[in-house]
Structure 1
Amino acid sequence: MKEISCKLLVIGAGPGGYVCAIRAGQLGIDTVIVEATKPGGTCLNVGCIPSKALIHAAEEYEKALHRASGKDALGISAAKPELDFATTIAWKDNIVSRLNSGVAGLLKKAKVKYVHGWAKFRDGKTVVVETETGEQVIRAEAVVIATGSTPQELPFLPFGGLVISSTEALALREVPQRLAVVGGGYIGLELGTAFAKLGSKVTVVEALPRVLAQYDAELTRPVLKRLAALGIEVLTDAKAKGVSSKGDALLVESAGKDRKIGADKILVTVGRKPLVEGWGLDQIDLDMAGRFIRIDEQCRTSMRGIYAIGDVTGEPMLAHRAMAQGEMVAEIVAGHRRSWDKRSIPAVCFTDPELVTVGLSPEEAKELGGEIKVGLFPFSANGRSMTLQGEDGFVRVVARADNHLVLGVQAVGQGVSELSAAFSLAIEMGARLEDIAGTIHAHPTQSEAFAEAALKTLGHALHV
């Protein structure tokens, strides 16, 4: 049995884990990282990156179909396109492979030792890793748990065969003719929209009164309009009940009636659960916060020398949150004074159009007490959006009425994910409405809508 010792052991090489290990290596900390699959975790391999590749391919295919229809407003026509889905998937896989190699190279550059295998705690300082060549014992002064999360399964729709998770959806070798999506959150609608553009007949089943329930109705209205235009049927207040006896349909209760939704695949996207099983956590008896590992403002767990970051620590389960936590923990282990004091964490939904939220919504801001100001600027009044045929959407700013401190920014529209950095920066730096309105934004760009929304909140928008 091999044994190695190190200053820092990171369990999980997803976005949080590999960033933590790289930063620790940069700071001269003797670091080991353990990963059971491939570098990059869920986000890089079966989540964020491959899904965005599929979404982009679907957008391009839909544009080509539209031009072949002879109804293109730009005057562009083309022959009817053909989709070689195997080539699409190969292109997606190549991107993932390149990024896998990139992460591995960065870890090597930072002099981080990479161990491939499944880790289990023996005690708070010792982990046993099941590798291809046998067991390896790793002893560490500090341990970071960054094991991530997995798709949530429904007991009456277990994964397998007809029923798939987002992981299997991104590995399909052909486009299903009929796709039933159980769960109308961001994952379900991102993938459902992509497959609809690729040719699937998509039906979304959501148990709540509306889809994208984490966003307000004003923000999601353009998305619902686009879903209808794509021919996606959306059933709300509907409950999935199981698979038909013939195995070719989803059984649903909707509007008090039972119905069958024919499906070649049933995609279940009802959330994700923290991956806390199989790591021997029972050997170290960490305090939990529900199903998540409880942490403090420095990502410390209830046991000295053990930290936890990312999805295993709770919402928001976002890769960039895990990355920021990982960087912070590495610096704490190195002796730096750090704590988690982020004002906001941006959230992006890559539907069509895209959604961005940073900070507080108008409703959340009102709950804090005190008067607020809200200003909205539509992309229909933005020149650049018009030239991109992306007028359906807006930027909205929420601020305190007394001192004009910006509390939140929301946007819906084509490509608004790229505006999320500006929104986050404004809130992190404590910007006032006057700061945003007084910053010169390049013309013609969609970013002008941010300045105009601030002006609107102040009561004197220029272009609407």
Structure 2
Amino acid sequence: MVVGDASLDIDLLVIGAGPGGYVAAIRAAQLGQKVIIADKAKVGGVCLNVGCIPSKALINAAHHYESMQHAADYGLSADNVGVNFGKVQEYKSSVVNKMTGGVEMLLKANKVQIFNGEAMFINDTEARLFNEQESPRYRFKNCIIATGSRPIELKPFPFGGRILSSTEALSLPEVPKSLVVIGGGYIGIELGQMYSKFGTKVTVLEGADTILPGFDKDMSQLVAKKMKKANVEIVTGAMAKGAEQTDKDVTVTYEAGGEQKSVTADYLLVTVGRRPNTDGELGLDLIDMKVNERGLIEVDDQCRTSIPHIYAIGDIVPGAALAHKASYEAKVAAEAIAGMPSKVDYKCIPAVAFSDPECASVGYTETEAKEKGLKVKSSKFPFGGNGRAVTLGGADGFMKLIHEADTGLVVGAQIAGVEASNMIAEIGLAIEMGATVEDIALTIHAHPTLAEITMDAAELAIGHPIHTIAPKA
């Protein structure tokens, strides 16, 4: 490796090795680019290391523990059920290591050079990569910025001690006896429910009038009902004011219903959103990069920034901060660099909360479709009418299928129930290919499967349901 001011020429520099960056690097390498990818953390970014993957590993463990406690419901006996949280954390770490190791293997197999360190722009064609051992300088033809985001830190609740971000909450050495969560979005609900299943007394403080505000109310109400049944206290319309911590606990003061209240717990988890990583030592100010007031980089439909040979993807550009959106944009940017006509099309980006029950949405809701001027109808099929859902103990839930009233064209769906995260993909495909509810109804779905719920919702939409009674006109 050349050290110092001697520049090395490369085709593409990718800054950030999360689900946006590593996908961009692999796709670009497949298209003949000489690529180097830089990240100060392990490959995989937040998603694989301290986000999507470790959280789902812990959620999976919590589901198993809960199931063991209810073994008698299935005629089974499971005595002396307990939690060794140290072992649970070892399981989580093994999953993370397997996934990050796999990504590193894929990068190397595609001849992508990996640099473990930070990157800083010198000008709009050069950047310095640096860590404790070296600081090479690269001259690039193109660059893709994929630096992701970090948890928003509120001034009254600085991270540290017993005030946690999602990162620290995923690595606690023990199951806390009690936990306060500020923010009832998908991260707060996923982690709050996970700890609740392990036995933690959880209190959720949410400023809106419902948890999971990004989803339809009938979906979030289903989750809230399950949480309250598990003795999780949910306070909506709550405004958190401050916190005082000792070496043993933390007391949170908040206002709700016009009253000042407080709650004390072992830990406080703050999940109020994420901030784009476009500040700091990246040096965007040195290259006159246009960044809006929220710290997001404006891009065109090929993910190109105000500097034509520099692209940006993922959480640092406008739109939903979702790993699968970043991966999609990564392929578009890599192909645009290779001269292909690829452009982003956000017609149907699925959104998923790994709550209990799971919530998933794609395309338009009924309200959104009507606001767009579309004449639509909806058909709602209950999970309780599906044999597979009942055998899984998941009778609570529903699918709502949205279609154009005149053409039957599928334009959206919302699912709340077991495995909703997997079921939503069929509707995404239907929207992308321009399928109608009749197309879905005429597709033979295997029995007994949760996928039959989609077929049943489509049959209801065309007026001849088999496993439910059609509502009166």
TM-score range relative to shorter protein: over 0.9
Q: Give the structure 2 partner of residue 284 of structure 1.
A: 287
C-alpha separation between the residues in 1 aligned to 2:385 and 2:165?
40
- Give matches, 1:52-71, under 5 Å: 52-67=56-71
33-42 vs 328-337, which deviates more?
A: 328-337
C-alpha separation between the residues in 1 aligned to 2:288 and 2:187?
33
Q: Is the 8 A contact 2:162 2:245 kept in 1?
A: no
Secondary structure at the counterpart of residue 399 of structure 1: strand
Partner deviation per Cα, 1:197-222 (whole Å, 9 max, x = no partner): 01110000001111111111112222
Q: Is the 8 A contact 1:361 1:408 kept in 2?
A: yes
Q: 1:14 aligns with which of 10, 14, 18?
A: 18
Partner deviation per Cα, 1:264-308 (whole Å, 9 max, x = no partner): 110000011111112101111222343210011100001120000
Q: 1:364 aligns with which of 363, 368, 375?
A: 368
123-132 vs 200-209, which deviates more?
A: 123-132
Partner deviation per Cα, 1:2-27 (whole Å, 9 max, x = no partner): 53210010000000100000111112
1:179: Cα distance to partner? Answer: 0.2
Q: TM-score, normalised by structure 2?
A: 0.95
Q: 1:301 aligns with which of 265, 281, 305?
A: 305
Q: Is the 8 A contact 2:210 2:220 kept in 1?
A: no
Q: Is the 8 A contact 1:244 1:260 kept in 2?
A: no
Q: Is the 8 A contact 1:342 1:428 kept in 2?
A: no
Q: Give the structure 2 partner of residue 160 of structure 1.
A: 160
Q: Give the structure 2 partner of residue 187 of structure 1.
A: 187
Q: Give the structure 1 partner of residue 471 of structure 2.
A: none
1:80: Cα distance to partner? Answer: 2.4
C-alpha separation between the residues in 2 aligned to 1:245 and 1:370?
52
Partner deviation per Cα, 1:28-79 (whole Å, 9 max, x = no partner): 2101111110000000000000000000001111112223xxxx32111210
Q: TM-score, normalised by structure 1?
A: 0.97
1:372: Cα distance to partner? Answer: 0.9
1:337: Cα distance to partner? Answer: 1.7
Q: 1:260 aligns with which of 259, 262, 266?
A: 262
Structure 1's unaligned 5+ residue stretches are none
Q: Give the structure 2 partner of residue 380 of structure 1.
A: 384
C-alpha separation between the residues in 1 aligned to 2:458 and 2:289?
46
Secondary structure at the counterpart of residue 304 of structure 2: coil
Secondary structure at the counterpart of residue 20 of structure 2: helix
C-alpha separation between the residues in 1 aligned to 2:158 and 2:326?
28
Secondary structure at the counterpart of residue 440 of structure 1: coil
C-alpha separation between the residues in 2 aligned to 1:344 and 1:139?
37
C-alpha separation between the residues in 1 aligned to 2:81 and 2:102?
34
Instruction: Give the partner amino acid of 1:384.
Output: R
Instruction: Give the partner amino acid of 2:56.
Output: K
| Aligned residue-pair number | 460
Partner deviation per Cα, 1:374-422 (whole Å, 9 max, x = no partner): 0010011111111111010011110111111111011010111111221
Instruction: Give the partner amino acid of 2:327.
Output: M
C-alpha separation between the residues in 1 aligned to 2:379 and 2:397?
14
Instruction: Give the partner amino acid of 2:460.
Output: K
Q: Give the structure 2 partner of residue 34 of structure 1.
A: 38
- Give matches, 1:8-407, under 5 Å: 8-67=12-71, 72-244=72-244, 248-278=250-280, 279-291=282-294, 292-407=296-411
Partner deviation per Cα, 1:206-252 (whole Å, 9 max, x = no partner): 01111111111112222111101111000001111111365631111
C-alpha separation between the residues in 2 aligned to 1:458 and 1:288?
48
C-alpha separation between the residues in 1 aligned to 2:258 and 2:396?
34
309-318 vs 451-460, which deviates more?
A: 451-460
1:368: Cα distance to partner? Answer: 1.3
C-alpha separation between the residues in 1 aligned to 2:175 and 2:260?
27
Q: Give the structure 2 partner of residue 462 of structure 1.
A: 466
Superposed CA RMSD in Å reads: 1.1
Q: Is the 8 A contact 1:64 1:80 kept in 2?
A: no
122-131 vs 180-189, which deviates more?
A: 122-131
C-alpha separation between the residues in 2 aligned to 1:343 and 1:440?
26
The verdict on how the C-alpha distance between 1:187 and 1:245 changes in structure 2, with shifts beyond 3 A counting, is: closer
Q: Is the 8 A contact 2:178 2:200 kept in 1?
A: yes
1:341: Cα distance to partner? Answer: 2.1
C-alpha separation between the residues in 2 aligned to 1:289 and 1:349?
28
